[in-house]
Every structure is written in C-alpha cells, then in structure tokens.
Amino acid sequence: MKKSYFFLIVFTILFFSVFKLNAQVTTLDRIGQTPGSAGFHVNWDSTAKKLIVGCGTSIWVYDMTDPEHHSILAKRPFLGLINETDLYGDVLFVAATHDGVYALDYTSPSLDVLAHYDMQGLGDTAAYDMWRTND
C-alpha cells in the first residue's frame, strides 16, 4: 500500500513539473493561412510579384507587392489535388491529379478555363508533374 502511494506522489510531481518546463508561450500568433487545405504546391511569379498557391484542391493567387498587406487576386476550385503549376505569359497551367491538366486565364479573377485535358476515366493515369519544351 505504501508503495502505491509513493508512485502516485512521484507521478503527480513529475506530471505537473513537465507541464511547467515545456510551456513556451502564453498566446499563439497566426502568421497566415490559406483556406482549402495545406499549401501543397507553391509557385512564385517574380515579374508580377504574385504568389500562386495550390491549397489542396484549389488554386489561390495572392498579390505580394506589399507582403504585409497581401490580397487575394484570383482563386478556382478543382476536383484533384494541385501537384504542379507553370506560368507561361497569361496562361497558368495546373496539374490536378486525376482531374487533369488545365490551362487557365491568369488575368481573370476566377481563373477562367481556356483548355482542359480530362484524366477521369483513364484508370490510374494522373497529372503529377509538367514540363515545357521549345517555349
């Protein structure tokens, strides 16, 4: 019986001392968040100072000319996870897993679809990466 009380007292002391030692901050500050999902793919448009973020199954384009006061310029949902983007002039190419490859109007707030290569119904075929040749 004395042994169990001893272990209970030691456990209680250790339990409360661990919480005091591991406390880091009293409040958390949010740096930023893109709704939709985790930022799986990110691309930087250095000419226009825009950040292209593939958040789960959506694309968000941010104006980053003033990073402390950034704003959302455009966004579009998809049916597949965004794996890759490539910007060519005013066309934003997007690889969205089993949803396919899209060509989007980069100047449009809704990123209007210019062309779509549909991969649904092609079995395990999916768009995970892209490359361009002979610009």
Strand order in the sheet with 39-45: 39-45, 50-55, 58-63, 71-77
Distance between CA 87 and CA 85 in Å, rounded?
Answer: 7
Q: What was the pLDDT predicted at 33?
A: 54
**Structure-token pair, residue 83:** 């794996």
What are the tokens at 23? 């406390």
Judged against a pLDDT cut of 80, whether residue 59 lies above it is answered with yes
Handedness of CA 73, 77, 82, 87 (dihedral sign): negative
Average pLDDT of the residues in 49-68: 91
CA 3/CA 104 separation, integer angstroms = 71
Q: Is 73:96 a contact under the CB 8 Å cutoff?
A: no
Per-residue pLDDT at 18: 55
pLDDT bucket at 40, cuts 50 / 70 / 90? confident
At 130 the pLDDT is 80
User: What global pTM score does this model have?
Assistant: 0.69
User: In this predicted structure, what is the pLDDT of residue 3?
Assistant: 63
For the chain, percent of residues with pLDDT exceeding 90: 40
Tell whether the model's pLDDT for residue 1 goes beyond 70. Answer: no
Average pLDDT over the chain reads: 81
Tell me: the pLDDT tens digits for 61-71?
999 999 888 99
Q: What is the pLDDT of residue 22?
A: 52
* Residue that wins the pLDDT comparison between 121 and 117: 117
Beta-carbon contacts of residue 5 (< 8 Å; ≥ 6 apart): none
For residue 30, is pLDDT > 80?
no
